[in-house]
Amino acid sequence: METSLQRIMRKTGRKPIECKCQKCKQQCKTPCLGTPEDILRLIKAGYKERLAITHWWVGIARGKLDFPVIMIQARQEENGYCTFFRDGLCELHDLGLKPTEGRLSHHSITKENFKFGKSLSWNVAKEWMDMRNGEIVEEIIRHMTS
Ligand code: SF4
């Protein structure tokens, strides 16, 4: 069966990419979005305390949704960066735990070529509403509320 990552790659046409340029590092101010599979992996790896409930408002801002998508994602720290951004690098990278948006994102994705339906953030957010991920989301909620 197709995984969330495979589905998102198919829908967005994006492939995993590594880039450490300044523009890509700037993207780590807003925590990249993970699918339910990504987030459950982080919880199981012991990172529960660095995750938080997140309301994704982009769909409303773009006039595509009339509700925010509710997810669990990496926290944004008081320094304005993602909780996993350390010394200019992603702490999760070498652990193979980087969330899907971060794995597939690249600084070449700009406002000019942003298409909502093919955007990484929307395709990851959508996974939180996909019934195929229902059991995983329930397991995440159990962990986060215990
Ligand atoms: S998880 Fe890693 S790649 Fe994603 S925003 Fe945080 S530091 Fe950047």
Helix/strand/coil for 84: coil
Q: Which amino acid is at 117?
A: G
Q: Is the CB of 82 under 6 A from ligand 1?
A: yes
Cα(85) to centroid(ligand 1), Å: 6
For the chain, give every domain's residue range. Answer: 4-145
- Tens-digit pLDDT profile for residues 109-140: 655 556 888 899 999 999 999 999 999 999 99
- The two tokens of residue 6 are 């495979």
- Tens-digit pLDDT profile for residues 47-65: 999 999 999 999 999 999 9
Cα(117) to centroid(ligand 1), Å: 23
Which contiguous run of DSSP H or E holds residue 100?
helix 100-104
Q: Which of ligand 1's atoms lies nearest the C-alpha of 83?
A: 6
Neighbours of 82 (CB within 10 A): 24
Instruction: Identify whether the C-beta of residue 119 lies closer than 8 Å to the C-beta of residue 12.
Output: yes
Cα(130) to centroid(ligand 1), Å: 23
Q: Is the CB of 137 under 6 A from ligand 1?
A: no
